[in-house]
Chains A and B, each alone.
Chain A
Amino acid sequence: MSRTLHDVASGTLFGVALNYQGLLDQHLAAFEQAPYRKPPTKPVLFIKTPNTRNAHGGTVLQPAGERLQPGPALGVVIGQRASRVSLDNAMAHVAGYVVVNEFSLPEDSYYRPAVKAKCRDGFCALGPQVIARDQVANPNELALKLFVNGELRQQNSTARWVRDIPQLIAEISEFMTLHPGDVLITGTPEGRVDVQPGDRVEVEITGVGRLLNIVQAEALA
């Protein structure tokens, strides 16, 4: 991890699930049924624990007998303490952006916290560097691309977010302070793919960077 990234984005990693309209739409019928009963009304949040941190060029281990899926996402790095901020003032709390690959095992349910799926060692790669907020003219129109061994396998645009950055910061900071160095992972779009040991996995976000990770099989204990 570059020194700058380590210094600037050293806080808690907060993820937002179901923040792409296409992904949410795929599940809306199921979300009317048990155990959900109704679609989510607030951002669906999770925490990537510190053991999940991984770097540009880092190895991601595929657990034995499990399917491993990359999660291309734009990371928003908090620059100023954000408690109960308004929509209009939200972007002033952003220091910059970083490419995130939020690895996960497949999720067949959103009912319970996805700790086993999402909190494995090395399952949250960030990098190569933090791009200052003002260097990204419009975060609401960034192309996300996932390449596996150079082949484009998944793509989407932040234009398809359910909630944009100010909405997320305003709704989250209503009950939970965001601190400098915290990272808000703004969601992975629909169409996650499986990757295999030996694969070179890259996430590219226009104007933010291209993040590389290598998949390896986890050695049996």
Chain B
Amino acid sequence: MKRARIRFEGQIHAVQVDDDHSVRLSDGRRLAEDQVQWLPPATGNMFALGLNYADHAAELAFTPPTEPLAFIKSVGTYTGHRQVTWRPDNVAYMHYECELVAVIGKTARNVKRADALDYLAGYTVCNDYAIRDYLENYYRPNLRVKNRDATTPVGPWIVDVADVPDPGNLKLRTWINGELRQEGSTQDMIFDMVPGDEVVVEVEGVGRLVNRIVSETEFFSVRKEA
């Protein structure tokens, strides 16, 4: 089963998602995918693992770390499916990263590896954009690179754990303006995007998350009116 959070007519709803991506409200109403505003399906902090794919570490010319590189994202950086993300003016490299997200469902402390999946509410997809121009070698990747307003699309929904039997063997794919840019591995991940681009990240069996790049000016002028 797929579950999502949406806004419809000013109200936030927890909904079930059907195979055609229409959503069902608790009162039974059905709405099409493009009739609702998709919100991030979870609202906790995010623990992100860096350099967790061997070929990404090689591509970025790092020695893979001996222990996990973790960084944290706060909820203000999230945005939902079919929303926009802004490219700051005067930067050279904005890149995408298609990510599988494991959503925590209950308090987990000192958990054994064999029991770990019992603590999940399910899986979702994230596009972990980075503005590489702003990298500094302090708590890298620093917040100015990875924790910007509306620069982490998450969603569209949460898929039940039981529906993803082999989470360690899923294909990740990214399309830009309909062109497949990245498949299976992290090749071509450092690809600059510009306002107007549509970026789609997909994790096989979990979901397909759509986002559009807008300019800094457009993003903040729309937000002022809202």
The residue from B69, B72, B76 contacting A176, defined by CB atoms under 8 A apart:
B76
In this assembly, does A17 line the interface, its C-beta being within 8 Å of a C-beta of chain B? Answer: yes
Between-chain CB contacts (< 8 Å), 30 pairs: A12-B75, A17-B138, A35-B137, A40-B136, A41-B136, A42-B134, A42-B144, A44-B138, A44-B142, A45-B144, A45-B147, A46-B72, A47-B73, A47-B143, A47-B147, A49-B47, A50-B45, A111-B140, A112-B69, A112-B139, A112-B140, A113-B140, A113-B141, A114-B139, A116-B70, A119-B72, A176-B76, A176-B77, A176-B143, A177-B149
Q: Which residues of B contact A121 (CB under 8 A)?
A: 109
B95-134 with Cβ < 8 A to chain A: 109-110, 134
Query: Shortest beta-carbon distance, A209 to chain B, in Å?
Result: 26
B residues less than 8 Å from A176 (CB atoms):
76-77, 143-144, 147-149
Which residues of A in the span 14-59 have a Cβ within 8 Å of any Cβ on B? 14, 17-18, 35-37, 40-42, 44-47, 49-50
Chain B residues whose CB sits within 8 angstroms of the CB of A46 once the complex forms: 72, 139, 143
Instruction: Scan residues 70-116 of chain A and give those whose CB is less than 8 A from a CB of chain B.
Output: 83-84, 110-116
- Enumerate chain A interface residues (CB-CB to B < 8 A): 12, 14, 17-18, 35-37, 40-42, 44-47, 49-50, 83-84, 110-116, 119, 121, 175-177, 179, 221
Determine if B215 is an interface residue (Cβ-Cβ < 8 Å): no
Task: Return B129 CB to nearest CB of chain A, in Å.
Answer: 12
Within 8 A of A (CB), among B59-99: 69-77, 88
A40 vs B77: C-alpha distance when bound (angstroms): 22
Q: Are A45 and B139 in contact (CB under 8 A)?
A: yes
* Contact status B137-A221, CB under 8 Å: no
Determine if A115 and B76 form an interchain contact, defined as CB atoms under 8 angstroms apart. Answer: no
Q: With contacts A17-B139, A35-B137, A114-B139 known, is A49 near B72, CB below 8 A?
A: yes
B138 touches A111 (CB 8 A): yes
**Total A-B pairs in contact (CB under 8 Å)?**
86
Taking the complex as formed, is B8 at the interface, i.e. its CB lies under 8 A from any CB of chain A?
no
Tell me which of A36, A44, A115 contacts B72 (CB under 8 A). A115
Bound-state Cα–Cα, A122 to B191, Å: 40
Residues of B within 8 A of A179 (CB): 76
Residue on A nearest B107 in the bound complex, by CB:
A51
Is the CB of B220 closer than 8 A to any CB of chain A? yes
Interface residues on B, range: 20 to 34
In the complex the two chains form, what is the Cα distance from A221 to B110 in whole Å? Answer: 7
Q: Return the CB mask of B198-220 against A: 1 if under 8 Å, else 0.
A: 00000000000000000000001
Complex contacts, B144 vs chain A, CB 8 Å: 42, 45, 175-176
Residues of A close to B75: CB separation below 8 A? 12
The answer on a CB contact under 8 Å between A113 and B70 is: yes
Residues of B within 8 A of A37 (CB): 137
B138 touching A110, Cβ below 8 Å: yes
List, in ascending order, chain A residues with CB within 8 A of B134's CB. 42
Partner of A36, one of B69, B88, B137, B149: B137
Whether the pair A12, B76 counts as a contact (CB closer than 8 A) is yes
- Measured CA separation A83–B72 after assembly (Å): 20
Closest B residue, CB atoms, query A174: B144
Distance in angstroms between the alpha carbons of A35 and B142 in the assembled complex: 14
The answer to whether A47 and B45 touch (CB under 8 A), given A111-B137, A113-B70, A176-B149, is yes
Do A84 and B77 touch (CB < 8 A)? no
